[in-house]
Chains A and B, each alone.
Chain A
Amino acid sequence: MARFSVIGKSLAMVDSSSKVTGLGRYTNDLSVPGMLVGKILHSPHAHARIRSIDTSRAEALPEVKFVVTGKDAPNPFGILPIGHDERALALDKVRFIGDNVAAVAATTEEAAERALDLIHVDYEILPAWFDPVESMQSASNWLHADRPYNIEKEYHHVFGDPDQAFRQSTFVREETYRAAEVNHAAMEPNATLAIYEPDGRVTVHSSTQVPYYLQRTIAEVCELPMSQVRVVKPLVGGGFGAKSEPISLEIIAPLLAIKAKRPVKILFTREEVFLAHRGRPITIVELKVGITKEGKLNAVAARVIQDGGAFCGYGPVTVLYSGALLGAIYDIPNVRYDGFRVLTNKPACGAMRGHGTVNVRFAFESMLDALARDAGIDPVELRRRNMLAAPCTTVNGLRVTSYGLPECIEKVTAQSGWSEKKGKLPFGRGIGMACSHYVSGAANPIIRSNMPHTTVNIKIDRDAAVTIYSGASEIGQGSDTMHVQIAAEVLGVSPARIRLVAADTELTPVDLGSYSSRVTFMAGNACLAAATNMRHQIFAAVALTFGCDPARLEARDDFIFSQDDSRARLSFDQAIVLAITANHHGGLVAQGSYTPPEEARGGKHKGAGVGPSPSYSYSAQVAEVSVDTETGQVLVERIVAAHDCGRALNPVTVDGQIIGSVYMGLGQAMQEEMIWNHGRLMNPSFLEYRIPSTLETPPIESIIVESEDPEGPFGAKEAGEGSLAATIPAVANAIFDAVGVRITTLPLSAEKILAAIREQEKIERGVGQKSGAR
Chain B
Amino acid sequence: MNSKEFIQLQVNGETRDLAVPPAKLLLDVLREDLGLTGAKRACDDSSCGACAVLVDGVPILSCVAIASCYQDSEILTVEGIAPPGELTPVQESYAAAGGSQCGFCTPGFMISIKALLDRNPHPTDEEIRMALSSNFCRCTGYMQIYESVRLAIVRSSCPPASAVATLSRVER
Interfacial residues, chain A to chain B (CB-CB below 8 A): 10, 12-13, 15-26, 28-29, 110, 184-189, 235-240, 267, 269-271, 475-478, 651-653, 655-656, 659-660, 662-664, 685-687, 691, 693-695, 697, 699-700, 702
Flag whether B106 is at the interface (Cβ < 8 A). Answer: yes
Could you tell me the dominant secondary structure of chain B's interface residues? loop
Per the CB 8 Å criterion, the residue count for chain B at the interface is 56
User: Is B94's CB under 8 angstroms from A660's CB?
Assistant: no
Provide the bound-state CA to CA distance between A184 and B171, in Å.
Answer: 32
Provide the bound-state CA to CA distance between A552 and B97, in Å.
Answer: 38
Chain B residues lying within 8 Å of A15, measured Cβ to Cβ, are 103
Q: With contacts A10-B96, A270-B42, A686-B45 known, is A659 near B141, CB below 8 A?
A: yes
Q: With contacts A20-B100, A26-B40, A653-B98 known, is A700 near B170, CB below 8 A?
A: no
A sample of 28 inter-chain contacts (CB < 8 A) reads A13-B98, A17-B87, A17-B95, A19-B94, A20-B91, A21-B82, A22-B37, A26-B104, A28-B37, A185-B138, A187-B139, A188-B104, A235-B103, A238-B102, A269-B44, A270-B43, A270-B45, A655-B143, A655-B169, A656-B139, A685-B44, A685-B45, A686-B43, A691-B136, A693-B135, A694-B130, A697-B141, A700-B141
User: Is B106's CB under 8 angstroms from A19's CB?
Assistant: yes
Residue in B38, B78, B105, B171 whose CB lies within 8 Å of A187: B105
User: Is B95's CB under 8 angstroms from A13's CB?
Assistant: yes
Report the minimal beta-carbon distance from B56 to chain A, rounded to whole angstroms.
20
Flag whether B156 is at the interface (Cβ < 8 A). Answer: no
User: Is B96's CB under 8 angstroms from A12's CB?
Assistant: yes
Chain B residues lying within 8 Å of A240, measured Cβ to Cβ, are 138
Chain B residues lying within 8 Å of A267, measured Cβ to Cβ, are 41
User: Is A236's CB under 8 angstroms from B102's CB?
Assistant: yes
Query: Looking at B37, B79, B130, B138, which has the most chain A CB atoms within 10 Å of its CB?
Result: B138
3 tightest A-B CB contacts, nearest first: A22-B38, A476-B102, A237-B104
Provide the bound-state CA to CA distance between A110 and B138, in Å.
Answer: 30
Query: Looking at B36, B41, B130, which has the most chain A CB atoms within 10 Å of its CB?
Result: B41
Flag whether B110 is at the interface (Cβ < 8 A). Answer: yes
Residue in A closest to B141 when the chains form the complex, CB atoms: A663
Provide the bound-state CA to CA distance between A270 and B137, in Å.
Answer: 15
Chain B residues lying within 8 Å of A699, measured Cβ to Cβ, are 143
Residue in B closest to A9 when the chains form the complex, CB atoms: B171
User: Is B169's CB under 8 angstroms from A10's CB?
Assistant: yes
Report the minimal beta-carbon distance from B3 to chain A, rounded to whole angstroms.
13
Q: With contacts A12-B95, A24-B103 known, is A189 near B144, CB below 8 A?
A: no
Q: With contacts A20-B106, A271-B44 known, is A700 near B98, CB below 8 A?
A: no
Query: Looking at B81, B87, B143, which has the most chain A CB atoms within 10 Å of its CB?
Result: B143
Beyond known contacts A238-B138, A656-B140, A694-B129: 15 more, CB 8 A cutoff: A12-B96, A20-B100, A21-B38, A24-B103, A187-B102, A187-B139, A237-B105, A269-B44, A477-B101, A662-B141, A685-B43, A686-B136, A691-B138, A693-B133, A700-B141
Chain A residues lying within 8 Å of B50, measured Cβ to Cβ, are 187
Residue in A closest to B1 when the chains form the complex, CB atoms: A110
User: Is B79's CB under 8 angstroms from A23's CB?
Assistant: yes
Provide the bound-state CA to CA distance between A475 and B102, in Å.
Answer: 6
